Structure 1
Amino acid sequence: MMTADPHHEIHLESHIVDQLKQQGWLEGDHQHYDRARALYPEDVIGWIQDTQPDAWEKLRRVHGVDAESTVLDRLGKTLAAKTGGTLEVLHRGFSVAGAGTLAMSQARPEDSRNQTVNNCYAANRLRVVRQLRYSLDNENAIDLVFFINGLPVATVEIKTDFTQSVE
């Protein structure tokens, strides 16, 4: 239950999330986060299905009901590889047998002439998740985690001198 005390972190957390939602961000539920893969699967799969339907159809034909887990496992391995990493995957995508290279984001277009690029840019899924429990070993939580198309890109820990200090 939220108290009326204005000095609790939850109020600032709520304000930040509300401001992001007004700008088109999605608010996620920490229970939908895949701790083992460190991904928000709904957005990974949704982004690929929305922006690369032909590649998704190939994956579905090749892998059947395992298409989603195949993509998520391969993405996780790419992110963990020395040549991978979040920025690399967001910029260059990742490869999956049967579908080639899958893009994981679309940068803002320089102009509006290419409708396909404009549509992909508009399809980017920006999500914020409160109190994200990230570990398989404990229930520790990060106050806010920001995602692009299911990939975590930033974290925020909110501190207040009234409840705790940054030291």
Structure 2
Amino acid sequence: MLYLLIRAWTTAGMASGPAPEFISRDLRGQTVSLADYRGKPVLLHFWASWCRICKLEKGAIDAVSRSWPVLSVAMQSGDDKAVREYMKANGVEWRTIADETGELARRFGVKGTPSHFIIDGKGVVRFREMGYTTGWGLRIRLWLADALGA
């Protein structure tokens, strides 16, 4: 019961239903939007360079990214150059947007890091959570989003 109350509190205000659309540039300078992922589920992963839990979770996100699309958003982590340097130093290879202004975090109602959104192939948020999540937990949610969004 306590778990459900905490989960409800941490996800309150986070995007649900149709995912907020956006067009941005990733750290390679390529245009990216959620529409690029239509037809398959995607993990939208919000993290920060200073977040210790995000660092613990890196291995799980790496493993998930070998089987499923991952789009990450570095929030409160500096400009493109600072985020690129952090990623290089820490072996982070996911497609990443530097959310220097916090606009994407606001659109998705993100209050803390790490935060995850599993978005199905039709652009609907199927799962959302804040805090550490295991690789298997993310994989199961992606698989369910694939089944539900078919």
TM-score range, shorter chain: under 0.3
Q: TM-score, normalised by structure 2?
A: 0.27
Q: TM-score, normalised by structure 1?
A: 0.25
Larger relative contact order (Cα-Cα within 8 Å, sequence gap ≥ 6): 2
Larger radius of gyration: 1
